[in-house]
């Protein structure tokens, strides 16, 4: 069975992420979307909330499951062998960073390979950071977020504005 792991912060999942997941789900037998810790980011949503939003946004894809881990990606991948890691690439900057991560993950445990999916041109401007920034100002987000998570995202960002409900 060909398994792909799609790791990320997903804070929150965007239309760009869903596009990568849909394309990976068409290529691999099984795709595991894994919410992981990015030491350089402080997430707005709890891990549980991020997992729930991914589940809602990928409900139409029967070979996609959602998981979370606080460990190293290479360890997680090692425990899921045989598998590949997948990453979406929006720009040259993304490629530089992900190529470096590829060598780190490849060299750590088990020599897991990475497959890069180029972003659809129409989604290059879509990122979780932009969504959070726009969301804080109550902007229209239907071009950025999967339809299925729009109401829950708006409710959660309103909760956060009113004093933080990150459970
Ligand atoms: O969506 P992001 O924030 O770009 O995803 C980055 C992520 C979570 C995939 C990356 O930070 C990661 O792999 N975290 C797990 C810990 C790890 O393995 N770090 C790499 C070695 S420094």
Predicted TM-score (pTM) of the model is 0.94
Q: Which residues pair with 30 in a beta bridge?
A: 3
Residue whose CA lies nearest to ligand 1 atom number 2: 8
Closest CA to 120 of 9, 4, 8, 18: 18
Which pLDDT score, from 0 to 100, does residue 12 have? Answer: 97
111 pLDDT band (50/70/90 cuts)? confident
Per-residue b/e over 123-137, b at no fewer than 16 CB within 10 Å? beebbbeebbebbee
Per-residue pLDDT reduced to its tens digit, 3-37: 999 999 999 999 999 999 999 999 999 999 999 99
Q: How many angstroms separate the alpha carbon of residue 77 from the centre of ligand 1?
A: 12
Residues catalogued as catalytic: 17, 41, 90, 128
Q: Is the pLDDT of residue 165 over 60?
A: no
Ligand 1 residue neighbourhood (C-beta within 6 Å): 7-9, 36-38, 41, 72-74, 104
């Amino acid at each position: 069975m060909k398994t792909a792991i799609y790791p990320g912060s997903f804070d929150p999942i965007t239309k760009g992420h869903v596009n990568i997941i849909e394309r990976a789900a068409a290529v691999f037998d099984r795709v595991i979307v894994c919410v992981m810790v990015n030491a350089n980011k402080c997430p707005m949503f709890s891990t549980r909330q991020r997992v729930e939003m991914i589940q809602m946004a990928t409900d139409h894809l029967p070979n996609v499951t959602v998981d979370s881990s606080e460990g190293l990606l290479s360890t997680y991948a090692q425990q899921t062998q045989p598998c590949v890691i997948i990453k979406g690439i929006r720009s040259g900057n993304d490629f530089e960073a992900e190529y470096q991560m590829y060598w780190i993950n490849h060299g750590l445990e088990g020599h897991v390979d990475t497959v890069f999916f180029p972003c659809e041109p129409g989604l290059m401007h879509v990122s979780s950071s932009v969504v959070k920034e726009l969301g804080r100002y109550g902007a229209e987000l239907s071009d950025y977020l999967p339809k299925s998570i729009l109401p829950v995202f708006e409710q959660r960002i309103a909760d956060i504005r009113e004093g933080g409900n990150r459970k």
